[in-house]
């Protein structure tokens, strides 16, 4: 859950600002500061000038002034690359696209309640996905009306410290990518510090900055850029939905750059991961029957992989699926119940597919009831049933 991106400059030529004072560089509008709660949300500073880039100023995750990412900026965890770097190396992949939903806007006081990460190649093909709700350890989940997450949903979810090794393994060897990346960076740095984990500074790229260089849109919010590029964003404000949209936008943006993106630090290496499967809690939101059916929508909204369905929660899902399939069809309300139960069990699209296929065989449903179509995201996944 990132703060809104700044509005576009008054005039645009080829995605570049013509505002006087700093030719070719857009200037971020300051965020509105809410004083009603007694705590002011973080403010975003104006982008630094070319002259100040010679002496980049690090900032930390507890600072109230969070700068927008630009080439050369050093944060508490990331060192940002870009096309104006004076030296550095190109990176041809993989990239690790991240997004978090949080209890609020302050990395010092608020907590992460959902994480999603996808490793993609330079063409935007998703190689691996990981997503789960996060237990904020006694903290209220915050604005449910924005992210749709309730306190009840996170009760059985892992803590950030539980999932940190899995996240760091997926960041290993990759350039980190996020939209409005300094916001995600501040929360990631704060959560790693709470977990007692230290990692070297990571190369990073911000698609908000990239959008300013390559799009001429009224603003550079993720939803606006996605619409302009023809990229679906069906589950906005779900971490996995935002990650998938950034994955699709990234190659479109980089192809339009006239000079290569350079990074001044190398990706880290991390090999330690969880020895036992994590008790993940996934979620599928914004279900739509469409032309492919409810089950196709459910599986498409879940991460590609989750945990094996062996817990009591998974048994509850399988029992419900058996009951639903008894009449050979699935209604919208039944699909929502199945989505909730599958998420509570930490299942991913592949696990739901396997369970549904097994039930289809058990009931000997006719082909007219369940057909197969290719998955929308992963080229290596099995065909998905349509109900």
Q: What integer best gives the mean pLDDT of the chain?
A: 77
Q: Give the end-to-end CA distance of the chain in Å, rounded to a whole number.
A: 32
- What residues are paired with 117 via a beta bridge? 98, 130
Tokens of 151: 């306190």
Helix (H, G, I), strand (E, B) or coil at 102: strand
Least confident of 36-50, 129-143, 185-199, 224-238: 36-50
DSSP string, 31-50: PP---TTSSPPPEEEPPPPT
Q: Residue 122 pLDDT more than 60?
A: yes
pLDDT value of residue 316: 74
d(CA 336, CA 324): 12
d(CA 3, CA 42): 9
Confidence band of 61 (pLDDT split at 50, 70, 90):
low
Q: Is the peptide bond before 94 cis (omega within 30 degrees of 0)?
A: yes
**Which residue segments constitute the domains of the chain, with CATH numbers given?**
12-255 (3.30.420.10), 294-386 (no CATH)
Tens-place pLDDT, residues 244-283: 999 999 999 999 999 999 999 999 999 877 767 788 888 8
d(CA 261, CA 279): 38
d(CA 104, CA 115): 14
Q: Residue 166 pLDDT more than 70?
A: yes
Tens-place pLDDT, residues 187-246: 999 999 999 999 999 999 999 999 999 999 999 999 999 999 999 887 777 899 999 999
d(CA 311, CA 299): 19
* 175-178/202-206 β-pairing: parallel
Going by C-alpha positions, the residue among 225, 215, 157 that lies closest to residue 2 is 225
d(CA 290, CA 184): 33
d(CA 236, CA 1): 10
Q: Left, alpha or beta for 230 (phi > 0: left; psi -120 to 50: alpha)?
A: left
d(CA 56, CA 78): 13
pLDDT value of residue 55: 43
Confidence band of 107 (pLDDT split at 50, 70, 90):
very high
Q: From residue 266, give the alpha-carbon distance in Å to each of 60, 83, 84, 253.
A: 21, 16, 18, 22
The CB-based long-range contact list for 43-49 (8 Å cut-off, 24+ gap) reads 44/3, 44/6, 44/68, 44/182, 47/22, 48/73, 49/22, 49/25
d(CA 285, CA 58): 37
The HSE-up count of residue 141 (CA atoms within 13 Å, CB side) is 21
Q: Residue 172 pLDDT more than 50?
A: yes
Q: Residue 47, exposed/middle/buried by CB under 10 A (0-12, 13-18, 19+)?
A: buried
Going by C-alpha positions, the residue among 1, 195, 236 that lies closest to residue 101 is 1
DSSP string, 193-253: HHTT-----EEEEEHHHHHHHH---SB--HHHHHHHHT---TTTTSHHHHHHHHHHHHHHH
d(CA 365, CA 10): 59
pLDDT value of residue 369: 43
d(CA 162, CA 105): 23
Query: Rounded to two decimals, what is the model's pTM?
Result: 0.72
Query: How many Cβ atoms from other residues are within 10 Å of residue 149's Cβ?
Result: 28
Least confident of 85-99, 244-258, 340-354: 340-354
């Amino acid at each position: 859950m990132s703060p809104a991106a700044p509005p576009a400059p008054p005039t645009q030529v080829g995605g570049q600002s013509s505002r006087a004072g700093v030719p070719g560089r857009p200037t971020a509008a300051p965020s509105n500061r809410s004083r009603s709660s007694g705590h002011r949300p973080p403010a975003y500073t104006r982008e630094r000038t070319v002259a100040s880039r010679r002496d980049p100023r690090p900032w930390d995750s507890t600072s109230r002034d969070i700068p927008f990412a630009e080439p050369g900026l050093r944060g508490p965890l990331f060192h940002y690359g870009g096309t104006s770097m004076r030296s550095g190396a190109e990176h041809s992949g993989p990239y690790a696209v991240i997004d978090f939903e949080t209890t609020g806007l302050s990395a010092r006081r608020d907590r992460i309640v959902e994480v999603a990460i996808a490793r993609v190649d330079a063409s935007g093909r998703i190689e691996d996905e990981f997503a789960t709700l996060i237990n904020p350890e006694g903290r209220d989940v915050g604005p449910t009306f924005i992210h749709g997450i309730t306190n009840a949903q996170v009760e059985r979810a892992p803590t950030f410290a539980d999932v940190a090794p899995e996240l760091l393994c997926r960041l290993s060897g990759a350039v980190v990518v996020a939209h409005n990346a300094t916001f995600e960076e501040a929360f990631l740095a704060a959560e790693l510090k709470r977990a007692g984990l230290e990692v070297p500074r990571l190369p990073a790229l911000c698609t908000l900055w990239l959008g300013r260089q390559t799009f001429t849109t009224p603003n550079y919010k993720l939803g606006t850029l996605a619409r302009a590029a023809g990229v679906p964003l069906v589950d906005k404000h779900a971490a996995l939905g935002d990650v998938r949209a950034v994955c699709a936008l990234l190659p479109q943006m980089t192809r339009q750059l006239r000079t290569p993106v350079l990074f001044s630090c190398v990706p880290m290496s991390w090999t330690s991961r969880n020895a036992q499967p994590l008790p993940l809690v996934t979620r599928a939101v914004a279900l739509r029957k469409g032309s492919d059916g409810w089950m196709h929508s459910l599986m498409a909204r879940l991460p590609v992989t989750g945990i094996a369905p062996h817990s009591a929660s998974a048994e509850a899902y399988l029992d419900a699926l058996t009951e639903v399939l008894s009449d050979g069809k699935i209604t919208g309300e039944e699909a929502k119940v199945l989505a909730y139960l599958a998420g509570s069990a930490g299942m991913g699209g592949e696990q739901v597919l396997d369970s549904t296929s097994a039930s289809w065989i058990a009931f000997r449903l006719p082909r007219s009831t369940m057909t197969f179509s290719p998955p929308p995201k992963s080229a290596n996944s099995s065909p998905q049933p349509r109900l």
